[in-house]
Structure 1
Amino acid sequence: MNILVVYTHPNHKSLSYAFLQKVIQGISENTHKPNMQVLDLYEEQFDPLLVFNETKRRRDMHKDPELAKYREQLMWADKLVFVYPIWWGRPPAMLLGYIDQMFSSNFAYRDTGGLLPEGLLKGKSAVCISMMKGPTFYPLFWLGNAHKILMRKALLQYVGIKKVKFFEFGNMESPKGKQEKKLNKVFQYFKTLAY
């Protein structure tokens, strides 16, 4: 199995980074020996800004040479793992900028003329690991589950990725947030992940 971990947080002393380390540790200790690549969007200095003009057109984004290595990573991966905080009820703008550019027409999906496109990333699976200051029930009851709907339906299922697992952790800045227990849960998941 090939696993691409996409990490989005500017601070390597954050709890988000601690979750990233548990993902890496779990994959490294997995007896099935999956292959892993880690893409740290801030460390990579990924440019999340979309630019369209006379020479750079949206319809050509799927063959933009500046994004070639990121397309290769996505094609290589069997499983995508996204690690990020929840800010304002959604993933960070940096991750959304990555999604805007990488999940492009004629690479991640193809228009068919019907209601839904053909997902070109089918056969892959995804794991979304997110953490937030507010309580765990906040996104469900206050925001109508907007984060999960965005990631699962508006993005991943649209491009053909049907199998999506969520670890959505709340109260992460509270002394009673059970951070170690949640970190260990993520570690154990990846340590025991089978094909």
Structure 2
Amino acid sequence: MKTLVIYTHPNHQSLSYAFMQKVIEGSSENPLIEEVKVLDLYEEGFNPILVFNKTKRRRDMHTDPELAKYREQIMWADTIVFVYPIWWGRPPAMLMGYIDQMFSSNFAYKDKGGLLPEGLLKGKSVVCISTMKGPTFYLLYWLYNAHKVLMRKALFNYVGIKKVKFFEFGNMESPKGKHAEKLNKIYRYFKMINA
């Protein structure tokens, strides 16, 4: 099993970074995970801004040479792990810019003329690990679970990825946020994950 970790936080002293480290640590002790690659979007200097003009057309995004290495990473991975904070009820703009460009037509999905496209990333699995300042139930009850609906239905299911696991950790700026317990949960999950 090959794992791609996409880390989206500008601060390497953050809890998000600590969660990413636990993904790597647990994965390194799992005999079923043969390799882990990390894409740190901020450190990479990934450009999240979409540009469409006379020479750069949206319909050609799946062949954009500037994005080739990122497409190869996605195709290489069996499991894609996203580690990011929840800001204003959704993932950071940097991650959304990555998604806008990478999950493009004729790479991640293919239109068939009907209501739903053919997902081209079938067989892959996704794990989303997110942190937030407020309580976890805020997303569920106040925002009607918008984060999970966005990620699972509007994105991953659309491109054929049916196996999606969420870890949403709230109260992460509180000294009572049970940080060690939550970090250990991620470590144990990746140490034992089998598909």
TM class by shorter-chain length? over 0.9
1:42 aligns with 42
1:185 aligns with 185
The aligned amino acid for 1:176 is K
1:103 aligns with 103
The aligned amino acid for 1:46 is F
**Hey, what's the Cα distance between the residues in 2 that align with 1:98 and 1:159?**
15
The aligned amino acid for 1:95 is L
* TM-score using structure 1 length: 0.99
* TM-score using structure 2 length: 0.99
**Hey, what's the Cα distance between the residues in 1 that align with 2:151 and 2:128?**
8
2:29 aligns with 29
Deviations 1:155-185 (A, max 9, x none): 0000000000000000001111101000000
- CA contact 2:2–2:33 (8 Å) conserved in 1: no
Deviations 1:125-147 (A, max 9, x none): 10000010000100000000000
1:51 aligns with 51
The aligned amino acid for 2:91 is P
2:160 aligns with 160
2:146 aligns with 146
Count of aligned positions? 195
Deviation at 1:31, TM superposition (A): 2.4
2:4 aligns with 4
Identity %: 78
3-state SS of 1:42 partner: helix
* 4+ runs deviating over 2 angstroms: 31-34
Deviation at 1:34, TM superposition (A): 2.4
**Hey, what's the Cα distance between the residues in 2 that align with 1:33 and 1:9?**
24
Deviation at 1:30, TM superposition (A): 1.1
Deviation at 1:33, TM superposition (A): 3.8
1:62 aligns with 62
Deviation at 1:65, TM superposition (A): 0.2
**Hey, what's the Cα distance between the residues in 1 that align with 2:189 and 2:31?**
13
**Hey, what's the Cα distance between the residues in 1 that align with 2:9 and 2:193?**
25
Further displaced range: 104-113 or 23-32 = 23-32
**Hey, what's the Cα distance between the residues in 2 that align with 1:107 and 1:194?**
27
3-state SS of 2:47 partner: coil
Deviation at 1:35, TM superposition (A): 1.3
2:119 aligns with 119
- CA contact 2:3–2:33 (8 Å) conserved in 1: no
**Hey, what's the Cα distance between the residues in 2 that align with 1:40 and 1:74?**
14
* Structure 1: runs of 5+ lacking an equivalent: none
